[in-house]
Amino acid sequence: MTGDAFPRLGAWVKLPAPESVELLALAGFDFVVIDAEHGVIDTRTMSTMIGLARGCGVAPFVRVAGIAPRDVQVPLDAGAAGLFVPQIDDVAGARDAVGATRFPPLGRRGASNSGRAGRWGLDALGDYLRAGNDEVRLVVQAESVGALDAIVEIGEVAGIDAVFIGPTDLAVSGRFREGDDRLADLVVAAERRCADHHVTLGTTASGNASELLDRRGYDFLVLGADTAMLRQGAHALVSDVRTPRKAVGR
């Protein structure tokens, strides 16, 4: 992996509309994560989004549903800057993710420089292979108590570039209630271990981005989803009109 810093501020893309990527780029995001795990985005639309993001100067990541060849090969050949792989609970799972997404000798990804990742055949095969192993970023999601316990070991697996703490699945898998201090303590302990071992770390943010970046050691954040931004913005507009205002005295 190159020594370039991880792009800092990102957003999920869940709507199957390439315009979402363009709007997020205009808003100033550094990267987008096209959601093929929870979104309803087909491969044709995904490829268009990746190309548009690259043209807008935004790093296009894809959150895949799994590590089957069809899950990872399509976005990587389409030119994704990297993948988010969900539910990696241990070192064995991290190694499986590397095996699926890296070229030999690190992994077993199939090779073809005829797609966008190889500039439609312009790149020599050796350059295409090098970029796939050295420049494409692999982010694994820690979404269980076991994953938090092993987060440093997961992050240090050769071929892994970053670990992303997924708070929603973490809470659900551990059956934690909202606001449970035990979950907060587990996350803080994982943050400290990552900082001590220089593991690149990311998570989602909800109004606490400055704290996460400046005081808790996160390297990158996903600030929300295009769907939520549309819903919240629309709600604010409608509420502003419908909320009764006090008459201004003369």
DSSP state of 244: -
Q: State how far the Cα of 152 lies from the Cα of 146, in Å rounded to an integer.
A: 12
Q: 69-106 as b/e, with b when 16 or more CB fall inside 10 Å?
A: eebbbbbbbbbbbbbbbbbbbeeebbbbbbebbbbeeb
Q: Which of 225, 161, 234 is nearest to 24 (CA)?
A: 225
Active site residue 235: no
Q: State how far the Cα of 242 lies from the Cα of 240, in Å rounded to an integer.
A: 6
Bridge partners (DSSP) of residue 59 are 31
Q: State how far the Cα of 203 lies from the Cα of 213, in Å rounded to an integer.
A: 10
Active-site choice (38, 197, 198, 235):
38
**Where in the sequence numbering do the catalytic residues fall?**
38
